[in-house]
């Protein structure tokens, strides 16, 4: 090769990254999370990678069913859910594509599927929030099982039992206390006049306005209501030495089986487990980052200080249908 030719080849090689069109990837995400909580994370991913994301939002349950319908020819590459049970449910339907990278292995095993089918990205605990103008500290319940007492008749709000966080909590109760106990407990809550509202935002606002002294919510709803200036406090229930602990669920993500943009989907999951994305989740919604070393938002009680219910999140999915049947029988609304 002549010197001229050689230097030409070299020049072309050096220019290649800028002169040749880079295939800018695409990624289709179905997300069961509220858009303000996920869009900033997606935008940062697009900025960092040049990958163009198409986002379809809805309820996690509806999108999980859509993924099952589209299974032979999937449109979604990634599924984001507000609950690990929904992710595990799809895994059991063989609708997910496992992925376990070095970055993903840094997330504690408690919060992801052992085989890499899904990844927990942010944690949320089931707490009781209360109105500080209606209740004094010494009056507060310490356990969710106290809520069936006459003291709390008609004083508790919770989200509908169609909500994924509520369903997962009931599954966890079944796994720890058994079916019979759980059904009896929920029937007693119903008899005690527990009111089910459309969603957790309604619950936190109702408690904030003083319509109910107590509300069963995920911990970040307490923080959101407090930020809105309402007189609210939080109880982390069942923390005593013989108590069952508080239930901690994870919002998470998974790659859809036969995803058309597999490499982009894998990059997105690695990104969700990265310190930058974990920090965003903590700041946007007061959730627990699941990557060790990333701090919680100011005012949030760190996960390590809580006694957790002994339930692995990958146990939830296979129990989903049984829980739905039990909730149907109880008829809490
Ligand atoms: Fe939520």
Q: Of all helices (H) and strands (E), which one includes residue 7? A: helix 3-19
Is 30 annotated as a binding-site member? no
Output the pLDDT for position 279: 95
CA of 143 to the centre of ligand 1 (A): 22
CA of 218 to the centre of ligand 1 (A): 7
Domain annotation for the chain: domains and CATH numbers: 24-123+250-301 (3.40.190.10), 124-247+322-330 (3.40.190.10)
Q: Of all helices (H) and strands (E), which one includes residue 121? A: strand 118-131
* Mean pLDDT, residues 274-281: 96
Output the pLDDT for position 19: 41
Distances (CA, A) of 26 to 38, 54, 99, 207: 17, 8, 18, 43
pLDDT in tens, 223-258: 999 999 999 999 999 999 999 999 999 999 999 999
CA of 37 to the centre of ligand 1 (A): 10
Q: Closest Cα partner for 151 from 187, 185, 193? A: 193
* Mean pLDDT, residues 170-190: 98
CB within 8 A of 173, min separation 6: which ones?
181, 182, 185, 247
């Amino acid at each position: 090769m002549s010197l001229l030719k050689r230097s030409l080849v070299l020049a072309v090689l050096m220019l290649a990254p800028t002169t040749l069109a880079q295939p800018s990837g695409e990624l289709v995400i179905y997300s069961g999370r509220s858009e303000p909580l996920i869009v900033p994370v997606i935008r940062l991913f697009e900025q960092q990678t040049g990958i163009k994301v198409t986002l379809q939002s809805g309820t996690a349950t509806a999108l999980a069913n859509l993924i099952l319908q589209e299974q032979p020819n999937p449109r979604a590459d990634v599924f984001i859910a507000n609950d690990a049970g929904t992710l595990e449910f799809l895994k059991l339907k063989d609708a997910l594509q496992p992925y376990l990278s070095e970055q993903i292995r840094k997330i504690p095993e408690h919060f992801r599927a052992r085989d890499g089918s899904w990844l927990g990205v942010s944690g949320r605990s089931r707490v009781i929030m209360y109105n500080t103008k209606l209740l004094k500290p010494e009056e507060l319940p310490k356990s969710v099982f106290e809520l069936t007492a006459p003291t709390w008749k008609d004083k508790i709000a919770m989200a509908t039992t169609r909500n994924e966080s509520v369903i997962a909590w009931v599954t966890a109760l079944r796994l720890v206390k058994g079916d019979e106990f759980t059904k009896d407990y929920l029937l007693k809550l119903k008899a005690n006049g527990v009111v089910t509202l459309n969603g957790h935002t309604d619950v936190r606002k109702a408690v904030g306005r003083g319509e109910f002294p107590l509300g069963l919510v995920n911990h970040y709803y307490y923080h959101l209501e407090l930020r809105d200036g309402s007189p609210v406090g939080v109880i982390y229930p069942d923390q005593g030495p013989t108590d069952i602990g508080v239930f901690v669920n994870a919002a998470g993500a998974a790659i859809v089986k036969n995803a058309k943009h597999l490499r982009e989907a894998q990059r997105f999951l690695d990104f969700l487990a990265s310190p930058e994305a974990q920090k965003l989740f903590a700041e946007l919604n007061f959730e627990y980052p699941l990557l060790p070393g990333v701090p919680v938002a100011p005012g949030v009680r760190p996960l390590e200080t809580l006694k957790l219910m002994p339930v692995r999140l990958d146990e939830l999915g296979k129990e989903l249908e049984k829980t739905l049947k039990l909730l149907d029988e109880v008829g809490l609304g």
